[in-house]
Amino acid sequence: MKPISPRALRHRLIIGGAVWALAAGTALSAEETALVEGWRFVREDVQGAQAPRFDDAAWSSVVVPHTYNAADSGIGGAKARGEPEGVYYRGPAWYRLSLDHAPEPGKRYYLHFGGATLKADIFLNGRAIGTHEGGYAAFRYDVTDALRAGRNLLAVRVDNARNTRYAPLNGDFNIFGGLYREVKLIEAPDLHIDLLDHAGPGLHVRTASLADGQADIAARVLVKNDRRSSAQFEVVTRIIDADGATVAESRTPTTLEAGRGQAVEQTLRLAEPKLWEGRRSPYLYQVKTEILVDGQPIDSAQALLGVRTVGLNAQGQFTLNGQPYALYGANIQMPTRFGKGPIVTDAEIDEDMKIMADMGVTALRLAHMQHPPRVYEEADRLGILLTTEVPLIDDMDPSDHFRENLVQQMRELIAQTDNHPSVGLWGIGNELRTSGDAANRLLAALQSTAKALDPGRPTTYAHCCLDDDDSIAQHSDTVSYNRYFGWYWTEAKDIGPWADELHARMPNRPIGVSEYGAGASILHQEDPVMRRPVADGYWHPEQWQTSFHEVHWRELGARPYLWSNFIWLGFDFPSFKRNEGDRPAINDKGLVTEDRRTFKDAYYWYQANWSDVPMLHITSRRDVNKRIARVKVKVFSNQPQVRLRLNGGDWATVPVVDHAAVWDIDLASGENVVDAVTEVDGRELTDSVRWTYRTNP
């Protein structure tokens, strides 16, 4: 095994959305080595694999990030039909990496893991460094005393098997095992901003108050003195605007005893601040904190700042900067790509976020666990509000350890993402299928933890499968409901009366809809006569999903007392529990296919309703072989009218009513072309479809 040199791969540390760097000529701040190449891997449990002299020559060579389930997770099975659930490997695997190290006096060294599912045991030079339980948050260890000069051996045992000690225990998704996010070796000075703050950045900023043309910004800087003697230093924090100008500054002289840590609290006042106003204007400042010794910077951290407040008003509505702000959008499951699982690039995450932004969302629900840092960073930039939650999904274990593990995962989630202005609410769980003392104790612990760590943000819980007002739905500041009227039960239109009845019964409780959706295969087309599909069946026509969402948004959009409305879901994704639609092991309720190549018609329905960018889209474009001559042309648009023509004939002007224009036509035998056009500010938007009708098939 060829060792990797930390010096060869060093670059600036990006953490919590901030870049750690100092100006040229100053002392170094924390630096990182990305541990990417040179890993050896085996997908089995091996005795003694943590030992430096263990022979791993027969193991595979991999790069990290890496998952060991990329190729074996395409088999699905539906219990509802008596099938066994899909099978993919859930168990232990080992990673080993040899790296060179040249220690420097006055430095501390940390191993950073961006995510390892679900349990990771870390060994360095045969020494047990620590065990992390929970697959979706980052974690770190101080390995200064375990690192040697010269060759070092890092060994990691990862296990994605179900374990009642930690969450999640269940879920409608695959749990991809492995070191599926980055691994880094971080070097920091021995007087430094604390890197062991639940793997957070050690710098936390928030809008403490906002009124009368000014904002007070609270900064909390965690400093650790790992020197052998006390240290005198100054903590300097600046707020820098988008033009690079310093607009506020705070200086705090501090003395810290050897081996101690301290939180330095600072308040910075901004005059006439530019607000982070969601999609309308997501203005971002930068906060930079430095530790100065004798006037010279030795360590620094940065974070983006969006000046804004969030909350709830007396009507149960979500508020942004004190004003009601409607949250509507989609659920996003953990970002994956076919054949790669969760090994996605920043560019692929950016693509997902742009697709949702182009649809016109104001918010996204990140289901059902902490997502990669890039998701939060892009949401900040795009002005998309987020709900983000711990992986308490469906099932729980009544043990103290399980509860303590979820509390730990909540602490990690908040420490690692609370600087993001896009994070609007903390989610404490999803669809617990049981109530009772243990469930209530668990949710109470998660609620109290979130409020203690971040009292300024509301909490929420996604409820399903028990009575709407069950005790487990009463812990969070808000409650939202996963409701699938028109797919799993009754009719789509029933969601409106259900919401009205619930609101009347709980008028002072902020309620929302956290999931609603229907499956759709772009290979399945059925027009004009639609039959309601069987939810777990093989026939999921796209037109049913479109009609489902038309009805749902007309019902939900008319009820402003709902604090949230989230579609299930943005993108199709892998699920071993499913064997339905046009292929197994996929949840096809997405508005966009898993490969991101096809936007289903329902996507454009929401774009017509939500986006201010002029748009035009003819539906049923994949239903190319018509069965009858008399058909309806349906066009989604956010313009007042469209012009339509068939086979180059005369144009007909059709009004757009509630974002849809409908035109009856008679197809000719053979190929037919339908054109649509609308004028916007002197330019034309156009769309067309080709349909074939055969009189004698």
Closest CA to 36 of 57, 70, 11: 11
Q: Which of 31, 431, 580, 594 is catalytic?
A: 431
- How far is CA 378 from each of CA 199, 353, 357, 358, rounded to the nearest angstrom? 20, 7, 10, 13
For residues 528 and 624, is the Cβ–Cβ distance under 8 A? no
d(CA 622, CA 599) in angstroms, rounded, equals: 11
For residues 661 and 655, is the Cβ–Cβ distance under 8 A? yes
- Report which DSSP code applies to 462: E
Both tokens of 73, joined, read 């997770």
For residues 548 and 486, is the Cβ–Cβ distance under 8 A? yes
Backbone angles phi and psi of 285, in degrees to 5: -95, 170
d(CA 440, CA 455) in angstroms, rounded, equals: 20
Parallel/antiparallel/unpaired status of strands 423-430 and 459-463? parallel
Residue 161, Cβ neighbours under 10 Å: how many?
Answer: 12
Q: How many helices (H) and strands (E) does the chain have?
A: 7, 41
Residue 623, Cβ neighbours under 10 Å: how many?
Answer: 20
For residues 38 and 69, is the Cβ–Cβ distance under 8 A? no
Radius of gyration of the chain (CA): 27
d(CA 500, CA 498) in angstroms, rounded, equals: 5
Q: Is 83 a catalytic residue?
A: no
d(CA 543, CA 89) in angstroms, rounded, equals: 36
Closest CA to 73 of 166, 157, 159, 173: 173
Run of H or E residues at 459:
strand 459-463
Active-site residues: which are they? 431
